Amino acid sequence: MSFNLLTLAGVAVTLHLLGLLAAVHAVIYTRTPQGAVGWAVALVSLPYLTLIPYLFLGHSRFHGYIVAHRRRRARWRDGQGRPSSHTTHGPPHANCQRLDALARLMGRPFRPGHALKLLENGRTTFDAILADIARAEHYVLAQFFIIHDDAIGTEFADALIQRARAGVAVHVLYDGIGSHDLPSRYIGRLRAAGVKIHAFATRTFTNRFQLNFRNHRKIVVVDGDCGYVGGHNVGDEYLGDKPPLSPWRDTHLRIAGPAVDELQRSFAEDWYWVTGTALTLRAPRSNEGGASCLALSCGPADRFETCSLAFVALINSARKRLWLTTPYLVPDNAVMSALRLAVLRGVEVRLLLPARPDHRIVFAVSSLYAHEAIGAGIAVYRYRAGFMHQKVALIDDDTALVGSMNLDNRSFRLNFEIGVLTVDEDFAARTEAMLARDFARARRVTPSDYARIAALRRVGMHVARLFDPIL
């Protein structure tokens, strides 16, 4: 008996020492003070429960990607390695000036001459993507967080295989964690047909347990002539074909014009990190579209917390209206403060959230933040006609954002994301009409909704919020 007690005591002491060492590591390397405090307290007090999660979620070093990313940005800002420039028609929209801080943050200006198409559901989105892939003559670049081996996954693979066999260069990236269940036979079928397909991962030997820093981008580019960004991944659930979350509500954007260059360069940067090979890209064609656009690419390799700063800048630019849709509401202090200030400026601030949870812990934390938002004067709505997954923002009467970014810490600091910011009254009007239909299918949340939640569940919501740096 005494031997067993001594052994148990030795194990406990060892775990606490390891927890202390991990806590020191967390204090030095965690990206935010909140995250550092959360990890340090948990590792010191409960190493039995937190040491293993820290191996998978806490290590934040992927130095090689950061170095390559920043060198690439420096070269492109100096104008090196770009394809020949195309003709644009006149200056960007005059209202782009109020978003100049965003352009400086991205290191590139708004550019005019874009044609935009708003795609409001999965079937419409993939019909458009597959039609453009079928017309590809030079290359197809495709990147998704999730690719499933299901009906739409098969359609997608068939389209890529057909173009690869026709001599088109086809490059595909998928996230190694988001697509963890993608079978080897799916990948093998594509490779056998000549498609170059790889998993994105920031793991190396020194951080081989890392599950954070996911590539959450959704990009398709065909010949440099058109591109797609938005919330859809490749899976039947995104077509609304898998209960209990169906019908699925999501939004994608088709874009033609100069900003396509930034979409394909974002892909090329990730491709180089994974494969070590550079891609040859074509300059986008000139077109007569009237929209001015700026691609917002962001991630944990950025020198600044680009995604959070971008949302703060967008919110601060609103003078009349700010409508935001997100499946996950876990904002940081900067974004939440910007939303409160927008209300105080007299801006109509609306948030559209799902009524159904796909991740229960995140839903609980989002519900708590929704309650705080209502207290700040923000109108919060729950979408009832299925699961709402879109990531769209509408600012005043001329500016809209469609992309992959959620209003949570994962998008702000842990994931690689991309979206397109547009300044154009016509596209903003189409976005307004789309969101008005969504709000008509939603119920406004009231303060009494929180009061009706059972006391024990409210305690659980507050406990769950302690983990919001990694949600």
Mean pLDDT of residues grouped by 10 in the chain (471 residues)? 65 76 71 67 74 62 60 53 51 93 93 96 97 98 97 98 98 94 97 97 49 86 97 95 89 97 94 90 85 95 90 97 97 95 98 93 90 96 96 98 95 94 98 98 92 79 69 59
In a domain, 386, yes or no: yes
Cite the active site residues.
216, 218, 223, 389, 391, 396
- Residue pair 176/144 in contact by the 8 Å Cβ criterion: no
Whole-number Å distance between alpha carbons of 181 and 178: 8
Residues 76, 31, single domain; the answer is: no
Residues 73, 221, single domain; the answer is: yes
Closest CA to 139 of 229, 267, 230, 258: 267
Cβ of 443: how many Cβ atoms within 10 Å? Answer: 13
In a domain, 295, yes or no: no
Residues 391, 327, single domain; the answer is: yes
pLDDT at position 14 is: 80
Residues 195, 312, single domain; the answer is: no
pLDDT at position 36 is: 72
Task: Tally the domains of the chain.
Answer: 3
Residues 126, 268, single domain; the answer is: yes
Give the domain extent around 129. Answer: 68-92+111-290
Residues 264, 138, single domain; the answer is: yes
pLDDT at position 302 is: 87
Which pair of tokens denotes residue 280? 């040859």
Q: What is the DSSP string of 108-129?
A: S--EEEEEEEEE-SHHHHHHHH
Residues 316, 244, single domain; the answer is: no
pLDDT at position 257 is: 95
Residues 351, 215, single domain; the answer is: no
Rg for the chain, CA atoms, rounded: 23
Which pair of tokens denotes residue 71? 């060198």
pLDDT at position 283 is: 92
* 3-class DSSP assignment, residue 423: strand
pLDDT at position 340 is: 97
Residues 163, 250, single domain; the answer is: yes
Q: Tell me which of 13, 37, 57 is where a domain ends.
A: 57
Residues 189, 245, single domain; the answer is: yes
Residues 37, 120, single domain; the answer is: no
| CATH value at residue 174 | 3.30.870.10
In a domain, 299, yes or no: no
pLDDT at position 60 is: 52
Find the length of the chain: 471
Contacts of 105 (CB under 8 A, 6+ apart): 304, 306, 309, 310, 313
pTM of the model: 0.85
Residues 140, 280, single domain; the answer is: yes
Among the residues of 295-348, which ranges form H helices? 306-317, 333-344
Can you name the residues that pair with 402 across neighbouring β-strands?
392, 420
